[in-house]
A and B are shown apart, each in its own frame.
Chain A
Amino acid sequence: MTTAAIRTSGLTKRYGHVEVLKDLDLEVTEGEVLGYLGPNGAGKTTTIRLMLGLIGPTRGRAEIFGLDSHRQTVDAHRRLTYVPGEASLWPSLTGFETLHLLGRVRGEVDLPYRDELIGRFDLDPSKKVRAYSKGNRQKVVLIAGLMARPDLLILDEPTSGLDPLMEQAFRHCIHEAKERGQTVFLSSHILSEVEALCDRVGILRAGELVDIGTLADLRHLSALTVEATFDGSVPDLTRIPGVSAVEVEGRVVRCQVAGDVEPLLKVLAFSGVHELLSREPSLEELFLSHYGAGSGDEGVPSDAH
């Protein structure tokens, strides 16, 4: 068995009486780009801080290239860099000084690549951090993370505060990293970013991994969107098994169907359908259906399928 870049088994974190991460089993193979999604407070940052050994697990373990991230922290860290979403940096250092420092503590840095990144992200490194806008601060940590060309990049909402142009530059860098065989763990709220970059996507909700797979897999398994236009009165579709998210606009009804479509078709067939459209859900719909059911701490044990 090859060693995975990241492997967690039964990884659990409890704060007080609340388990904010429950028995997470996750494997990220080398060279893969994994998107990690979930509503606010789902436990994404907690997962990442556990993988980095910044906090310790209540149960279970996390491994980075086979090294226990709680016990062999320093060795594990030789192979990764981390980009937090909210960069708190030393206000009295300049951008350049910060990059220099972070490069030196990390060990090896690809200096020409660093300078290229500074250009690509259009950063003025001579300014003091306290004078940077939020986006510029984010660029500094992003460049610091990328410039080391580590085997594993752990990114927690890395593009928060970046403008669309910089978002583009970021995507370019991740594509490059992937081509070089680097592994990327990307937690994000930007669905288009995840869709564009990730091989696989994991969805976390209330501390539990509710779904993981390629985008195609997830689409296939989840609901179909159906739009029907009726000649006469609109029938009540909400009671049909498998149908959800029913929206009525005049004589047009939009809904989602999970699993067997036959019950819905039967009803439609007897209600004078004038036009019928069906399509796979957009990524957004996919995630909304996952996020929506019991986001936050309630932990309603429900699934769309």
Chain B
Amino acid sequence: MLTEASGEHLLEVQSVPALANRAVEPTAPPGRFQTLAVAHATARKAVRSGVILGLVVGLYVLVQAFSYTSTYKTSAERAKLASTLTSGGLSPLVGPARQVQTVAGYTAWKCLMALTIIGAIWGLLTATKLLRGEEDSGRWELMLAGLTTRRRAALQAVLGLGAGWGALLAVASAITVAVGRASAISISAPSMLFFSLSVASSAAMFLGIGALTSQLAASRRQAAALAAAALGVSFALRMAGDSSPALGWLRWASPLGWVEELRPLTSPQPLALGLIAAFSLSLLAGSVYLAGVRDLAASVLPAKPGSRPRTALLSGPVGLAMRLTRATTLAWLVGIATMAWLLGSETKVAVKALQDSSSVQKALSRLSGTSGQAKVYLGLSFVIVALLISLLAIGHLTAARKEESSGRLDHLLVAPISRSVWLASRLLLACAVVTMAGVMAGVVAWLGTGHGHDGIGLSSMADGGLNTAPPAICLIGFGALAIGFVPRWTSLVLYGVLAWSFLVELVGGLGLTSHWLLDTSVLHHMRAAPALAPNWTSGVAMIAVALTAGALGIAAFGRRDLAGD
């Protein structure tokens, strides 16, 4: 009996190749899902991040519109603000202020440039990740398996990106239209739709730019860097264009300038939309074309052939981590420094603008005492820097987790390196980087104010910057816990904690919440330094929480099975 069974299996083994052949025979048409596998996979990821960006756009508009109506209540205050902002010299940074005596004008002025840039960054990161990143990781090869050509795969991916863009537009429109319906705001639905479309149009152009650089570059990182350079040039051109009326034509040389020329909410000029659409579509079409010309995983630009080996850092896990994260970290530091410099250089005008509101004026003088209102402004706006630094921390932790899930960590852990040493060193590196970033942000903001406007000292700004590190270090502790106990959820946990904290801060900023709720935000425990002396007690408490969480996480990581995705 039993031997008969094994005989049958022998036959089965022999028939396997025949079956396999049948499966790939073209006579049986491949399932629809299989033919559109790349489009599906890309769309799934693009839609997810598009929805998140749509939420960010909607929330940002909501917060700005409502804080305007609650801060500047009378038309006299609004008129005063308008004259401050129009003469304030901020337009090179954030674009010209038009009709800021209305909610619509202020919202457009306050939100459009910021969201345009965020949209552009989303576009270039999403396109390079889903086109080049997926290709580099070899996932396309698996999905394609000879069923479709490279050009068709790229076309599918571009369609997937389009789905993500649609999700962004839909979510942003839904929220902004709802905001516009509020009686205090009262902006018509078509105006809000056009505003959302304007923000989304920059995302569309940079999806196109990212798609193109994904074909030109030799790796995802290089593709993202090229696209980011395009964004930088575009921003610089627009900035020059807004710096003096004589240079206004320069705006037409910059995609960001085109978005500005749409003038949503004030004096809409849909004409530039045609330019934007043509630009985006030709970039996408060009990238699909190039995808068919080049080889899978190859580049159009000549790839840098293997360079001279640089082994200085490659002697252990810490050095390796530094080597692997240094480019991204540097990019983040540049971004954080830019933000800090902007905040610093905005201070003068921003403080003046705030003084136009009598309610703010009262609150400010109560808060600031002798230390000056500029400090208060900087202290409050440094929440943004804290947010960026927290994102940098999360980046380091998800990178560490990625080492494990990709299986690369196996190579280190089968050497005589203990797991706790590895994780602890990654965590410490992250802590060092965020501390450095905080101090740097403070110093750069100080430089931005023009070396100490309104009696702001360098050391107090450095303190203020340092003060942004504890929330990030606290997040690093939570990250260690996640890596130790729920590794597959690491990035979800971290982004969740940060998003929650930021939301609580936003809601708290509107004065809508209880102390209990505020306490759950890691950002809330940071004090508004340099206005108030940094609250080192709460800083120390956060670091103690981080140390405990870190120790628990490391212990759990030492005990559990290594886990893939």
Contacts from A to B (Cβ < 8 Å): 49, 52, 54-56, 73-75, 77-78, 80-82, 84, 86, 88-97, 100-102, 104-107, 124-128, 130-131, 141, 144, 238, 242-246, 256, 258, 288-289, 291-295, 300, 302-304
Contact = CB atoms under 8 A, between A and B. Distances in A.
Nearest to A105: B415
Q: Which 6 A-B pairs have the closest CB atoms?
A: A292-B9, A244-B3, A126-B306, A55-B561, A88-B407, A101-B314
B428 to A, nearest CB: 18
Contact of A300 (B5, B7, B407): B5
Contact of A130 (B13, B136, B408, B410): B136
Contacts of B414: 52, 54, 77, 80-82
A295 B406 CA distance: 28
Contact of B219 (A81, A130, A256, A294): A130
Given A242-B3, A258-B3, A97 B562 contact: no
B416 A77 contact: yes
A248 B470 CA distance: 78
Given A88-B406, A243-B3, 12 more contacts: A54-B414, A56-B559, A91-B136, A91-B219, A92-B219, A95-B306, A96-B309, A244-B4, A246-B7, A289-B10, A293-B5, A303-B2
Contact of B309 (A54, A94, A293): A94
B417 A292 contact: no
Nearest to B403: A90
Contacts of B4: 238, 244
B10 A75 contact: no
Q: For chain B, which range describes its interface: under 10, 10 to 19, 20 to 34, or 35 or more residues?
A: 35 or more
B309 A73 contact: no
Nearest to B562: A54
Interface string B313-341: 01111001001100000000000000000
A288 B12 CA distance: 11
B366 interface: no
Nearest to A91: B136
Given A84-B410, A131-B303, A292-B10, A107 B309 contact: no
A75 B416 contact: yes
A79 to B, nearest CB: 9
B6 A302 contact: yes
Contacts of A293: 2, 5-6, 9
Interface in B294-319: 297, 303, 305-307, 309-311, 314-317
Interface of B: 2-7, 9-10, 12-13, 136, 219, 221, 297, 303, 305-307, 309-311, 314-317, 320, 323-324, 406-408, 410-419, 559-562
A72 B351 CA distance: 62
6 contacts: A81-B414, A102-B415, A106-B415, A107-B416, A126-B307, A302-B6
A244 B7 contact: yes
Contacts of B559: 56
A95 B314 CA distance: 12
A304 B6 contact: yes
A97 B314 contact: yes
A55 B7 CA distance: 37
A245 B317 CA distance: 54
Contact of A89 (B3, B306, B316, B408): B408
Contacts of B415: 77, 102, 105-107
A126 B314 CA distance: 15
B561 A54 contact: yes
A238 to B, nearest CB: 6
A106 B561 contact: no
Which among A81, A104, A125 has the highest number of chain B CB atoms within 10 Å?
A104
B410 A54 contact: yes
B418 A90 contact: no
A86 B407 contact: yes
A218 B309 CA distance: 49
Which among B3, B406, B410, B419 has the highest number of chain A CB atoms within 10 Å?
B3
Contact of B12 (A49, A82, A292): A292
A262 to B, nearest CB: 16
B561 A56 contact: yes
Nearest to B415: A105
B561 A244 contact: no
Which among A97, A125, A141, A242 has the highest number of chain B CB atoms within 10 Å?
A97
A97 B156 CA distance: 36
Nearest to B408: A88
B399 to A, nearest CB: 11
A302 B314 CA distance: 51
A21 to B, nearest CB: 13
Contact of A78 (B297, B303, B413, B416): B416
Given A86-B407, A302-B6, A94 B417 contact: no
Contact of A54 (B136, B314, B408, B413): B413
Given A102-B415, A288-B13, A292-B12, A55 B562 contact: yes
A167 B317 CA distance: 32
B414 to A, nearest CB: 4
B324 A90 contact: yes
Contacts of B324: 90, 92
B171 to A, nearest CB: 34
Contact of A105 (B407, B408, B417): B417
Nearest to A48: B414
A114 to B, nearest CB: 13
B541 to A, nearest CB: 35
A88 B419 CA distance: 19
A247 to B, nearest CB: 8
B417 A74 contact: yes
A238 B4 CA distance: 7
B309 A100 contact: yes
Nearest to B407: A88
Given A84-B410, A88-B407, A243-B3, A104 B136 contact: no
Contacts of A82: 410, 414
Contacts of B406: 88
Given A82-B410, A90-B324, A100 B561 contact: no
Nearest to A258: B3
B221 to A, nearest CB: 8
Contacts of B303: 131
B320 A101 contact: yes
A290 to B, nearest CB: 9
A88 B415 CA distance: 16
A234 B389 CA distance: 82
B315 to A, nearest CB: 5
A126 B309 contact: yes
Contacts of A246: 7
Given A102-B411, A105-B316, A94 B306 contact: yes
A116 B410 CA distance: 25
A295 B413 CA distance: 32
B10 A288 contact: yes
A125 B311 CA distance: 13
Contacts of B410: 54, 82, 84, 88
